[in-house]
Amino acid sequence: MGANNMLLCQIFFCVISFITTLAQETPNNSSIGTASVSSDTQLVSASSLACAAIQLDLGSSVVEYSGSEYSATVQGPWSLFNSLDRPTCIVYPRAASHVQVAMSKIFSFGSQYAVQAGAHSAMVGWNSISDGVLISFAHMTNTSYNPLTDTVTVQPGVHWGDAIAAVEPYGVSVIGGRASDIGTGLLLGGGISFISPLYGWSADSIKEVDVVLVTGESVTANATNKFSDLFRALKGGANRFGIATRYELYAAHTGTKEDKDWFGGSIVYPESSSVALSNASARYIREVTDPKAGLIVLMQATNLTPVDANVIIYLFYKGGSLPTNIFGDFLSIPNTSTSLSPLSYYDISNLISGSGRGNGQQFGASSWTGDEATFLNGYNHFMNFTRTFETDLLAADLIISPIPRSQWTANKSRGLNAIGDPGVAYAAINFNLIYPTGVTVIPERVNAGFQLLLSQASSSPGLPLYINECDASQNVFKTYPNFSALQKTYAKYDPSRFNVRHTAGLIGL
């Protein structure tokens, strides 16, 4: 580096040091970064100031502005739409203290920011950002099991497939995602697992969580300490209440990969079986109460010129066979292929990788009670939508996830979550759009049609939406029975509403 550049850098970092000191001395209830600081630094963006201040404290190995790791992180998100942003800098924490430093500078300078854990989000901007600070947990990916406490500790950068593999030799598992590529953000959204009917929401497996608040303060929240309100809010509040840096999870005793305690697999059906499968799914939601049963239904419209539809279901039972009183409808419907066998939970957790990248993704959520007319109405609107926009899409899925009563009652003693029990069995519905390679922005006409679909196939009255499968336009929090308490908790821990103003996420708080 030339002498002039060195001098400029030294001057710049002196300015940063001065501004950092000024910001730290400014009362937290003032508009830090927008009133007290920005008037003196109008030529430098808030994100540039925050990045320089973080790098001054943590060093260039933790804070990067370019390079191969920076590029890999930027290009890493599952949805193409989130791989197009270019952060001002990327912070790669190795410890929670690094996140504290980063968040305190972000807060002081009023910078925009985003957090990337597993990067498996379909919501635009939830794990990527331009002109802002990106915190990537690519270096915090450890999983460990403590047999004395019977808990699994995971760092926020881990993917569930890796976490499950790490603890499988001990005969235990985590209540992770149904696709191995999904990350720990699943927990903050509530989380649905293949074994949720037995063990509850994924978030219900959290014993305690370390979380960095918007000011940079780090706290440990659990169901019984003074942060119990925050603990509940984190279990379904998505990214609105802080940055989780450690999860301690109750272990699920699922056995090793050699323990074939389950039976099941997948069945593929032609489009001609769709109506029968829609009816069977509604009856399953309404009638099945056995927590040892697991199901997910994927109604797929692929090769959308013209539409070629089929249905694939994944079905399991903890036992030696699939009981006909539970799965008889699905087993009797004409299919094109069947793959059923004894399985371990480890086998089940690896059936769906979910790692495909390179295409823009868009989610939308609904929730339906087990009524055949509701299901068929939703399916028909879905197919009408796909046929209307068949030249604009690569594929589209209508995904049905049962939420039985046992999912709410299995671990009720561990404390309530943010979602709130609606008191009935229902299905979480995910409409997933996959755009062709090269489409970098959601087309306005398709989005308008998608919003119409979401209104046509709207939720049954009184049911909460599932955050992890929602569209950015959906006010999920308002569907929570616990909404008013959630609002109070947010106001308590982020009174200046910094998170809502400075990072993308759920609307409505």
Q: Are 117 and 74 in contact (CB under 8 A)?
A: no
Question: Alpha-carbon distance 310 to 321, whole Å?
Answer: 25
- Would you state the structure tokens that stand for residue 226, as one six-digit string? 């003074």
* Sheet (strand 206-212) strand order: 143-146, 151-154, 243-250, 206-212, 218-222
pLDDT digits (tens, 9 = 90+) for 306-325: 777 899 999 999 999 999 99
- Shortest CA distance to 65 belongs to which of 80, 52, 75, 77? 52
Strand (E) positions, 223-292?
A: 243-250, 262-270
Q: At residue 42, does pLDDT exceed 70?
A: no
pLDDT digits (tens, 9 = 90+) for 135-156: 999 999 999 999 999 999 999 9
Q: At residue 19, does pLDDT exceed 60?
A: no
Q: What percent of the chain has pLDDT over 90?
A: 87
pLDDT recorded at residue 43:
63
Q: How long, in residues, is the chain?
A: 509
| Cis amide linkage into residue 270, ω under 30° from 0 | no
pTM of the model: 0.91
Query: Which helix (H) or strand (E) is 301 found in, with range?
Result: strand 293-302
- pLDDT greater at residue 4 or residue 152: 152
**Distances from the Cα of 104 to the Cα of 125, 214, 239, 324, 417, angstroms:** 21, 7, 17, 57, 28
Q: At residue 293, does pLDDT exceed 50?
A: yes
Residue 9 pLDDT level (bands cut at 50, 70, 90): very low
CB atoms within 10 A of CB 379: 22
Question: Alpha-carbon distance 39 to 233, whole Å?
Answer: 36
Query: CA 93: distance to chain centroid?
Result: 20
Domains and CATH numbers, the chain: 3-136 (3.30.43.10), 143-255 (3.30.465.10), 262-343+358-479 (3.40.462.20)
pLDDT digits (tens, 9 = 90+) for 340-372: 999 999 999 999 888 888 999 999 999 999 999
pLDDT recorded at residue 4:
38
Question: Alpha-carbon distance 194 to 173, whole Å?
Answer: 12
**Per-position DSSP letters for 159-181, written without gaps between them:** BHHHHHHHHGGGT-B----SSTT
pLDDT digits (tens, 9 = 90+) for 66-105: 999 999 999 999 999 999 999 999 999 999 999 999 999 9
What is the distance in angstroms between the CA of the first residue and the CA of the last residue of the chain?
48
pLDDT recorded at residue 306:
77
Question: Alpha-carbon distance 199 to 201, whole Å?
Answer: 7
**Per-position DSSP letters for 95-146, written without gaps between them:** SHHHHHHHHHHHHHHT--EEEESS----STTSS--SSSEEEE-TT---EEEE
Q: At residue 212, does pLDDT exceed 70?
A: yes
Q: At residue 210, does pLDDT exceed 60?
A: yes
What is the rounded average pLDDT for all residues in the chain? 91
pLDDT recorded at residue 3:
39
Q: At residue 40, does pLDDT exceed 50?
A: no
Q: At residue 376, does pLDDT exceed 50?
A: yes
Burial profile 430-444: b = 16 or more Cβ within 10 angstroms, e = fewer: bbbbbbeeebeebee
Query: Which helix (H) or strand (E) is 69 found in, with range?
Result: helix 68-74
Q: Are 235 and 417 in contact (CB under 8 A)?
A: yes
Q: At residue 131, does pLDDT exceed 90?
A: yes
Q: At residue 183, does pLDDT exceed 90?
A: yes
Q: What percent of the chain has pLDDT over 70?
A: 92
φ, ψ of residue 135 to 5 degrees: the values are -100, 115
Q: Helices marked H in 189-273 — which ranges?
A: 196-199, 228-234
pLDDT recorded at residue 411:
82
Query: CA 157: distance to chain centroid?
Result: 12
| Cis amide linkage into residue 306, ω under 30° from 0 | yes
Tell me the mean pLDDT in the region 233-260: 97
